[in-house]
Structure 1
């Protein structure tokens, strides 16, 4: 399945938290919690997915959080996660079902984070997202994101294994491959459920990633009105809307 379609993540949503939540939560705490604790107005979670980063931002901050997630399957998981939070934290969240560039947020927050999503935007959508982020950040507001791969690999990369994770008698796992495909990096997740060595189910979902070198990203950010600044974590890029 190509995740650019409206049913994107329809396969992955079932497996995502089971196979990736622990790693994603640890990374979010390392990358975003300190900045969220300093937020004084609101925080944007752009591409909230199943809500792992949203929950970290809520726990680290005391301000409202805007969680933007257009994929219905992932948003369902996000809302299920929010349902299990305390009413005080849940009251601070606004869920936006549109793509971020269509959400219409204006000077809504002093911090925006985009975890594991910028690479999935084609160049035109990426540039539109930078412009929307400039509008959504208050003067002096900070953007943190993990950048796309800088370039395409020369061939298919060695498969990465997620899991296995045991649920009762069953093992859940995924093999992830990445290879160049018509100018993008095609990432394929092949999910399996096994019991006693027998494959009970197998499902596959593909995502396209658009590489962009740091220099190009910096130029796009400057054009959109954001100043590139030093990131608080080596895996991130950071930009700030100039103070008024």
Structure 2
């Protein structure tokens, strides 16, 4: 991960929930609600973002949730979401503003979630994250995450169009393009605000993604003491903390 300057989201935080929250909430409920309901000690949410997954974890479980989010703009949105929850749910959340490897969590959780975050980690940080998650998990605890892309595309491609969503007279939308660049994948979000068909604002923010071949990903996890097991959904990877 890194500090706020490295992580960014200064542009994206304004638009994220408006354009992505509903889709992310449905996906998180499908992926994580059932595992969260089975957690018995605590849950770790790595890269909590604006708190969409955190909210699902709190609703589905009865255990404490550790939400890790080093980005100040995303943390502001996360705290706004937590403020809207009941006091009993807020009481179960511990917010960590530092990267996962600096939290000091040791055998504190039996479920760890990393949603839409692993691909954004440079390889050394990714490996440090596996080590930190392994320390945080109890023996037999499970990590669930969506894997990074395996390879680079052949050229620039449009990956998604988000919205439009109306706010008063304005239409908010975004386009996501993926651009291979020197062995990494640059993810570029272009946000637009239009009124009566006239562009009012256009802003961009780019994030670097690091593809990882499955064999290398598995080797990194194993080196951290995380054994790959059957995932509950085809679009996730699951790894169990070894007993040692």
TM-score of the two chains, using structure 2 as the length reference: 0.97
Query: What is the CA-CA distance between 1:7 and the residue it aligns to?
Result: 6.3
Query: What is the CA-CA distance between 1:70 and the residue it aligns to?
Result: 0.2
Are 1:125 and 2:125 an aligned pair?
Answer: yes
| SS state at 1:180 partner | strand
- Equivalent positions of 1:108-119 (< 5 A) are 108-119=108-119
Q: Residue 96 of structure 1 aligns with which residue?
A: 96
Deviations along 1:160-189, one digit per CA (max 9) or x if unpaired, are 210000011100000110010111100100
Moved more, 180-189 or 46-55: 180-189
Are 1:142 and 2:142 an aligned pair?
Answer: yes
1:7 and 1:72 in contact (8 A); partners too = no
TM-score of the two chains, using structure 1 as the length reference: 0.97
Moved more, 96-105 or 111-120: 96-105
Aligned counterparts of 1:158 and 1:76: Cα–Cα separation in 2: 29
| SS state at 1:158 partner | strand
| Superposition misfits of 4+ residues, deviation over 4 angstroms | none
Call closer, same or farther: CA 1:12–1:31 in 2, change over 3 Å.
Answer: same
Give the RMSD, CA atoms, in angstroms.
Answer: 1.2
Size of the aligned set, in residue pairs, is 242
Structure 2: stretches of 5+ with no match in the other structure: none
| SS state at 2:157 partner | coil
Q: Residue 235 of structure 1 aligns with which residue?
A: 235
Moved more, 7-16 or 112-121: 7-16
Aligned counterparts of 2:170 and 2:228: Cα–Cα separation in 1: 47
Aligned counterparts of 2:205 and 2:103: Cα–Cα separation in 1: 27
- Equivalent positions of 1:134-213 (< 5 A) are 134-213=134-213
